[in-house]
Amino acid sequence: MSVPASTSSQRNVVFVDGIRTPFGKAGPKGIYADTRADDLVVKAIRELLRKNPALPPERIDEVAIAATTQTGDQGLTIGRTSALLAGLPHSVPGFAIDRMCAGAMTSVTTTGSGIGFGQYDVVIAGGVEHMGRHPMGEGVDPNPRFLTDRLVDPSALVMGNTAENLHDRFPSITKDRTDAYAVASQNKYEAAKKAGFIADTLVPVATKSAAGWGLATEDEPPRPGTTIDDLAKLKTPFRPAGRVTAGNAAGLNDGATAAILAGEDTAHELGLNIGMRMVGFSFAGVDPAVMGIGPVPATEKLLGRTGLSISDIGLFEINEAFAVQVLAFLEHYGIADDDPRVNQWGGAIACGHPLASSGVRLMTQLSRQFAQRPDVRYGLTTMCIGLGMGGTVIWENPIHSEYSGAKA
């Protein structure tokens, strides 16, 4: 019996473009209280196609959309349903994916792998979370053996408790440090917003409520003008006299993201933008009780695989689920809390963290920052993941070689 020749070919995977909705506060008073989750995804997909008219919709090989709580308007294989709702041809397939907070990141790495292996040419990858309609953990039924057999510490099922555990693991990361980091995130976000950098990543979304129609054009969660004194007064809901507060952690949010990925050859063929090249990715598991340390082993694994060192990374986009989680990463690598390479435009503490959508927000911002910084060759997007994981993707700036050549 003859074996058919392989049709695969390894090639560069590029991030073409990314977009997101403004992020809202979860709950009955949030901007998206009466907006469906799938409609948020549809808005992002349609905006991507509007901004990239050189991409024929029929050339899209897959639509991968993540959601942590896959029920209701976030269920029914949301990658496929959102593709249909967005008006893509029936020939374009889609699927749903779940890796909790790293859902969109996994949508990118999974479909990116397909591109690198030669089985896709162009894909749309992203994520959505409507935490107002679907609170984290809604309807789940954890196996009782997790607790009765002590497979995990009970605190592992409450993310705020895991952040307090991480404080215990790193006593040098005090509440004063996390509050100072949180204030800096708010300030950096506000500066980036005033400079027009945030608006460039957003698509306005029409909203409807009892008060009538509205238009969401900016993130709802930021608290400009926040001071350390303000944060010092907040309650510590996860532990008496604890260190984690609503001020030094991301809130509960609604929002969606989407990105176009392609083979670099296909991008050239179609005349698509090349925002950055994927160098590699890695996911790693850790003790679920200290899930916030997950980015460290994921990054260590990836640096070892790529032969790069942390000093090669010129820009970091680290998801700010909790300030302590970011600081634990920085402390591990000997990076200062206020290093200018880290989260230049602020992070989730300011703009919000709609769980499965956030990975593409990090990538979209890094891609825009690469365009401003031709002197930087490599950037990194990383995040901690519920149930004890971390994920990291390293990207290369495509204009760095041109810049280097011009300098030479």
Catalytic residues: 101, 353, 384
The per-residue DSSP string of 314-372 comes to: EEEEE--SBHHHHHHHHHHTT--TT-TTB-TT--HHHH---GGGHHHHHHHHHHHHHHH
- Parallel, antiparallel, or unpaired for β 122-130 and 62-66? parallel
CA–CA gap between residue 343 and residue 340 (Å, rounded)? 8
Q: What are the Cα distances from residue 64, in Å, to 98, 105, 307?
A: 10, 11, 30
The answer to whether 356 and 104 are in contact (CB under 8 A) is yes
94-130: b (≥16 Cβ within 10 Å) or e: bbbbebbbbbbbbbbbbbbebbbeeebbbbbbbbbbb
Which residues lie below 8 Å from residue 231, measured CB to CB, with a gap of 6+?
179, 182, 183, 245, 247, 248
CA dihedral 168, 393, 406, 272 (to 10 degrees): -140
The token duo for 163 is 């952040």
Helix (H) or strand (E) holding 8: none
Amino acid residing at 264? E
CA–CA gap between residue 25 and residue 135 (Å, rounded)? 12
Amino acid residing at 119? Q
Amino acid residing at 218? E
The answer to whether 104 and 357 are in contact (CB under 8 A) is yes
Helix (H) or strand (E) holding 385: strand 378-385
CA–CA gap between residue 275 and residue 363 (Å, rounded)? 10
DSSP state of 244: -
